[in-house]
Structure 1
Amino acid sequence: MSLSPPRAATALAIGLVAVITTAVSPASALTHDWQDVSPPDSTNSVLFDVESARGGTWAVGGRRDPATRLFAPVALRWTGTGWQAFPQPADHGSLEDVAVGAPDEVWALGTRIDAVSNQGSALLQHWDGTAWREVTLPFPQGASEVSLSAVDVDAGGSVWVYGDYADTSGDYHSALFRGEADGSGGWTSLPASTGLTWVSRLEAGPGGVVHAVGDGVSRFDGTSWTKQSLPPSLNEAMFDGIEVNAANEIWAVGHARDNHLWRRPVIVRYDGDAWRTVRTPMETGQLFDIVFDSSGSPVAVGETSNPAVNPAGNYVLTPGPQGFLTRTEQPPGAAYLYAAATDTTGRVWTVGGAAGAEGGAYPAAYAGIRH
């Protein structure tokens, strides 16, 4: 999951009350145990994304140098008992999105920072089973101000990368590339006009169908994009996470503006017929990601800035006894939670920053497993 404009600022925007329409199955009404598996020696670090597939679990983020205030990219692999770090192609910057297809099909993207000019540039890298290597995409000649916001690997062995760039006239364009997830072969440039102003996440499914979220939801059928029709009350909602649970069950999460709350959590669900609003608590909070546990029930993670909601800052919604998503679980040791994933054993993972954050700075990275 990449840092969309609302998440990158983690303290902007205010949201619009969503219409409450849909309940979900109460199968996960019982509170689950969370285990803190945060990486040791991760002072001044934060993890922005976690993904798991085919037995491999990776988390990415950045570590800040208190002296220079520059970040260094971090990519960690779960060994079964702890986290293992590897050398990075870039000395400065951060990784904000990771996609896992197989042990040698791991992709991560983010921003490289020039230590002298403090200017940022797009960073895409591939893990080939032994090392991380930087990858260059075929943007048009003369492209500048290139940024990358989302990456995903589909079940068929393709990697998808979304970004933006400025042409030689200074006009901005979106770009979508598809390549081989194992790093072999070239790249195919595909239509990238999603109908969205910005994209924070891609979800690549079977048959070349891709969903994107940002300031809305859009669907790519292999030929063109169609912006999805959401409930009118969510016209100004901002989405950071999407999960395709089945062809006729797709969920997207984020936040919406409200005159009284800092941000209000928003969830929409496609049921095969239309996108409908899922009921969420009327309280300050925003959601960054959603996954499904081993029982098929949703687990949405995010943050709240209201100490009355949760002084630690972490925000987790799961189905309550009445079937509506409620805040019943608090991963110990966690502050803001930026991403979640489900591994092959059905465990739910979440990552972010450790409790005790002040002024947007975290004392350490956080990672947790829900059993």
Structure 2
Amino acid sequence: MSRRLSRRALPLCVLLTGVLTGALLRTTPAAHAHAEPPRPHAAERGPTGLFQESATARLQADGSLSDVVGLSKTDVWAVGQEDVWEAWQNRGVITHWDGTGWTEVGIRNDASSAGHLRSVAAASPRDIWAVGEGHDGLPYVVRGDGSAFDRVSVPQLGSGDWLGGIDAVPGRMVAVGGRGGDTLIATATAKGWTAVKGKAKGMLYGVALTRKGDGWAVGDGASQPLIMRLSGNAWKTVTAPSIPGGYLRDVSMDGPKKAVAVGGVYHDDGKISPLLLEWNGKRWRRAQLPDRYAELYGVTGDGKGHFWVSGFDAGHPGEAYLLRGGASGWRAVRGEGSARPRTMRLQSVAHVGDLTLAVGHVVDADDHYTDVIERFQPKTVKADAAATIGTDGDGSPAAR
């Protein structure tokens, strides 16, 4: 099994957190907690006023986190997988941060074994959803109450359907992906499930909802950015800027007049430039970014017009890379480097209170994966009082 993917496969590759498409997983075993190591060292490379540290949830060998959602600073959920390169041994992971440590939570009723979990969403502290794929070739949907998860049977989904993004608000869950070359949108409400094959060609990777019934879904539509909008109960394709080679990976909303979608643009030389689109209530426009080449994977907002974007900078592969900004512009936020060769990709980002968490993986010179969590907080939060989230004493992700 090759570890190198073609250029045109990259949107799916980054959505799978660098893991090969189609990898099979088994269910998470009984829940267990990871012991917390000594207080980490804080890096000083972020923008003025930010405290930054690298951490890990301490997944097993070759672990990677693909998505994260936060309800509060003591209630954060992340999903991913372990044993990335072992097709018949890897397994999906659901892990929870309670303010003091990360705890893996199992899936109770899964006889076929959990597939790679790509996306997670929380409508409330007792209503958490995740999607991915199963050993049985079906899309994988789980729902949890904060203490345990169960696989959800969805008759409207079949073999060949693919789900890559999810969001949830009280009373509604929406998962997006693809079916036979067309877009796919699956919705769960009190009335039951629907799974609609869209008229647009392409794949949807990210979705964002509001409690008022608005929403956006984004993806790749035949080498052009693809954007769909929810109004009431209907999804319709909307006009996106014409950007040949462009695709969108994630979207975040801050009300009906403010949204941000992120992705990239392929070039003939194999390089990828970052793509960030902003919605102003009337149209989508491309934003000016500080770096010529970078890959953007996840985006989140604070509800006050400010956004964080997670990604990868090929010019500084060993450093954490995020963008921070909004209407006033965007600036890069970088983590501490490493003396050892490595590549760090931050696949998703969540913001709760004054805490920003970005998750992903680090790949070392031997192609071994380690899950990684980057934390950013204002420096007014004293390092001595800040919760350690899983690092070695030097601030680097803990060794397995």
TM-score bucket of the superposed structures, by smaller chain: 0.7 to 0.9
Identity of aligned residues (%): 20
| 1:76 maps to 2:71 | no
Q: Identify which of 1, 12, 16 aligns with 1:5.
A: 12
Q: For the residues of structure 1 that align with 2:317 and 2:176, how far apart are their CA atoms?
A: 36
Pick one of 159, 164, 182 that aligns with 1:149. 164
1:93 and 2:107 aligned: no
Equivalent position to 2:53, from 35, 38, 48: 35
8 Å contact kept, 1:177–1:187: no
* Deviation per residue, 1:303-334 (Å, 9 max, x gap): 13x3xx213154212249x9542324226678
**Structure-2 change in CA distance of 1:332 and 1:31 (3 Å):** farther
Q: Between the two structures, name the one with larger relative contact order (CA 8 Å, sep ≥ 6).
A: 1
| Structure 1: stretches of 5+ with no match in the other structure | 12-27, 115-119, 167-171
Equivalent residue for 2:249? 240
The answer to whether structure 1 residue 368 and structure 2 residue 374 are counterparts is yes
1:50 is the counterpart of 2:74: no
Kindly tell me: are residues 128 and 4 of structure 1, through their superposed partners in 2, closer, same or farther at Cα, counting changes over 3 Å? farther
Please state how far the C-alpha of 1:290 moved relative to its aligned partner: 1.5
- Cα displacement (A) at 1:32: 2.0
Contact 2:59 2:371 in 1 (8 A): no
Moved more, 201-210 or 288-297: 288-297
Contact 1:101–1:153 under 8 Å retained in 2: yes
**Separation in 2, partners of 1:162, 1:295:** 26
The secondary structure found in structure 1 opposite 2:14 is helix
Per-residue Cα deviation, 1:207-256 (whole angstroms, up to 9, x for no partner):
32221010221112124333222222x24311111110221111100001
Matches within 5 A, 1:1-371: 4-8=11-15, 30=48, 32-53=50-71, 56-64=75-83, 70-88=89-107, 89=110, 91=113, 93-113=115-135, 120-139=137-156, 143-154=158-169, 156-165=170-179, 174-180=183-189, 185-189=190-194, 191-193=196-198, 195-215=200-220, 216-232=226-242, 234-260=243-269, 262-293=271-302, 296-304=305-313, 306=314, 309-312=315-318, 314-319=320-325, 323-330=328-335, 335-343=344-352, 345-354=353-362, 356=364, 358-359=366-367, 361-362=368-369, 364-371=370-377
Residue-pair matches, total: 328
Measured in 1, the distance between the counterparts of 2:336 and 2:253 equals 24
Q: TM-score with structure 2 length normalisation?
A: 0.73
The answer to whether the 8 A contact 1:203-1:244 is kept is yes
User: Which amino acid is 1:113 matched to?
Assistant: H
Offset of residue 56 of structure 1: 2.5
| CA deviation after TM superposition for structure 1 residue 67, in Å | 6.1
Contact 1:261 1:283 in 2 (8 A): no
- Aligned residues of 2:164 and 2:176 also touching (Cα < 8 A): yes
Which digits, 9 at most, give the CA deviation of each residue in 1:256-309, with x for residues without a partner?
Answer: 1234561001101011222111111343211011223587432211113x3xx2
Superposition RMSD on alpha carbons, in Å? 3.0
Distance 1:335 1:38 in 2: 13
Alpha-carbon distance in structure 2 between the residues aligned to 1:242 and 1:351: 17
Q: Which runs of 5+ in 2 are unaligned?
A: 1-9, 19-45, 221-225, 378-400
Amino acid in the other structure paired with 2:106: P
What amino acid is aligned across from residue 113 of structure 2 in structure 1? Answer: D
Contact 2:65/2:347, CA 8 A, preserved across alignment = yes
